[in-house]
Amino acid sequence: MTRGVLSATVVILVALAMGIAPAVHADPSNDGHDPYFNEDRYAAFYTPPDPLPAGAPGDLIRTEPSRLVLEPSGQLGAIVATGTRIMYRSTDARGNPMAVTGTYFEPDNNWPGQGPRPLIVYGPGTQGQGDQCAPSRQFNQGIHWSPWVDLMFNYEELFVATMVARGFAVVMTDYQGLGTPGVHSYLNSVSEGNAMIDAGRAAMRLPDTSLDPHGPVAFWGYSQGGGAAASAAELAPSYGPDLHVVGTYAGAPPANLKEMLPYLDGSALAGVIGYTLNSFIATYPELEEVIRAALTPRGVDLLAKVQDQCIPETILKFMFRHLQPYFNDDIKEVVDQEPFKTLFDMQRIGRRKPNAPVLILINRYDPVVPWTVANQLGRDWCAQGTDVQFWTNEEPPFLNKLVVNHALPMLVDGERALQWVADRFNGLPTTPNCGSF
């Protein structure tokens, strides 16, 4: 649900308009000899020890150096940082310990601001649900591709490269089940928020970095990442009180999933409903039978297929589909019935008060996350006394079913968000606007 979605959509639609299939081929180096393109190469690191070693949330389980490239050859530009792949302990939505992977970026450049080097805990946007889509793998490859349209662009590298060049340390989580065994808990607010908080803890505990273990931290994310960052912001007072959180940037946060369904219908991103239902089943397996009973054979087939896909493949194969054919009954009624009513309600964000300022940013005509959802999140937090700055991007609607107004604001307002975060690290006054949005 980010700029990578837009790029992938444009490539696919241009190819289709020309009457050809997208030219996706296996990388010639993906023959088992180049370790960065051989998925088996990742098995040893990404398979957690069983049982998990004793420890606390945020404890490191294992680490290894991580190659950082902007494209497969590694010759065209560089991320001016040293990468470390990490596996750390966290807590899932049921309160059980889990292993999560991610990447820590130690900048080559000094931090030019005030105080110790700050840490940005980065929640990635929608990658997909297959293990090959994990951001910590994508930073090794730049672009992942293999036969049958298994394609992924590492679109998160653009902001990470900028952040480390400016002296920010960054740690990016893969979230639960992305890269590691199991199903990715897509848009599960608790597991994603916990994974963000514990990524921050893990980075602070990583040896031989320039971080102060008690230094300042900010959460950052857009779309799926915006929801993860928002969840981390409100979970931090209770789950991560040891982190010195100074602010959170939550761009286009999906704070109310139920309100998004009409927007996904017929959209390039219609297939992500499969990610969400797979996440529900993986987190609450006792509800699998009733969830599957609500689906038509097409709906069951959707869940099976998207579970191993990255977002470009999901777009290609399920774009512009209507959601109703995936459900046996009227979808408007289904979401108000159990267990869906409770499942969607459990993912709501805005019921707890963050302990640091928050910037919420969204386009007024966002075709994926309704403006009203992000606005209500801001109002909910303001009502609890949170320091909130709410910013509306007024880019007019354009090709809404291609989710342009969801993807472009991340780029257009990215500098605004990064400056806001830098101001928090430098201790500058905030400019909350509760009561005026």
Q: What is the predicted pLDDT for the residue at 77?
A: 84
317 lies in a domain?
Answer: yes
Indicate whether 13 and 151 sit together in one domain. Answer: yes
Residue where one domain finishes, among candidates 344, 365, 381: 344
The domain that holds 248 is classified in CATH as 3.40.50.1820
What confidence tier does 149 reach under pLDDT thresholds 50, 70, 90? confident
- The mean per-residue pLDDT over the stretch 228-244 comes to 98
Comparing CA positions, the residue from 421, 69, 93, 57 lying closest to residue 204 is: 57
pLDDT at residue number 74:
85
Query: Residue 300 belongs to a domain with what CATH number?
Result: 1.10.260.130
If asked whether residues 289 and 245 sit together in one domain, one would say no
Dihedrals phi, psi of 103, to nearest 5 degrees: -135, 135
pLDDT digits (tens, 9 = 90+) for 51-74: 999 999 999 999 999 999 998 888
44 vs 40: CA distance, rounded Å: 8
Q: Specify whether 28 is located in the same domain as 45.
A: yes
- Let me know if residue 336 belongs to a domain: yes
Residue 13 φ/ψ, nearest 5 degrees? -70, -35
* One domain, residues 169 and 305: no
Distance CA 177, CA 184 (A): 4
pLDDT > 70: percent of the chain? 91
pLDDT for res 37: 60
End-of-domain residue from the set 195, 223, 255: 255
Same structural domain, 144 and 223: yes
Residues 7 and 156 in one domain: yes
Determine the 3-state secondary structure of 295 from DSSP. strand
- pLDDT more than 90, % of the chain: 85
> How buried is residue 170: exposed, middle or buried, by Cβ count under 10 Å (0-12/13-18/19+)?
buried
Are 271 and 139 members of one domain?
no
Whether 18 shows a pLDDT value over 70: the answer reads: no
What b/e string do you get for 34-69 counting C-beta neighbours within 10 Å, with b at 16 or more? eebbebeebeebbebeeeeeeeebbbbbbbeebebb
Cα–Cα–Cα angle for 47, 176, 93, nearest 5°?
A: 125
Are residues 132 and 188 both part of a single domain?
yes
DSSP line for 115-162: SSPPEEEEE----BSSGGG-HHHHHHHSEEEETTTEEEE-TTHHHHHH
The Cα–Cα gap between 431 and 420 comes to 10
Whether residues 31 and 67 fall in one domain: yes
Residue 14 has a pLDDT of: 31
In a domain, 278, yes or no: yes
Structure-block tokens of residue 331: 């979808």
Cis link prior to 97 (omega < 30° from 0)?
no
Q: Is residue 379 a part of any domain in this protein? A: no
Domain closes at, from 228, 255, 282: 255
Q: If residue 41 lies in a helix (H) or strand (E), which one and from where to where?
A: none
Is 328 domain-assigned? yes
Is the per-residue pLDDT at 363 higher than 60? Answer: yes
Distance CA 264, CA 182 (A): 25
H or E stretch at 355:
none
In this predicted structure, the answer to whether residue 9 has a pLDDT above a threshold of 80 is no
Tell me what pLDDT residue 8 has.
40
The token pair at 416 is 């605004």
Domain contains 437: no
pTM of this structure: 0.92
Q: In the predicted model, what is the mean pLDDT of residues 320-340?
A: 96
Q: Is residue 332 part of a domain?
A: yes
Q: Is residue 223 included in any domain, yes or no?
A: yes
Query: What are the tokens at 22?
Result: 């997208």
pLDDT in tens, 151-203: 888 899 999 999 999 999 999 999 999 999 999 999 999 999 999 999 999 99
**18 and 146 in a common domain:** yes
Same domain, 44 and 93: yes
CA distance 3 to 317: 19
Give first-to-last CA distance, the chain, whole Å.
Answer: 24
Domain that residue 277 falls in:
259-344
Number of domains in the chain: 2
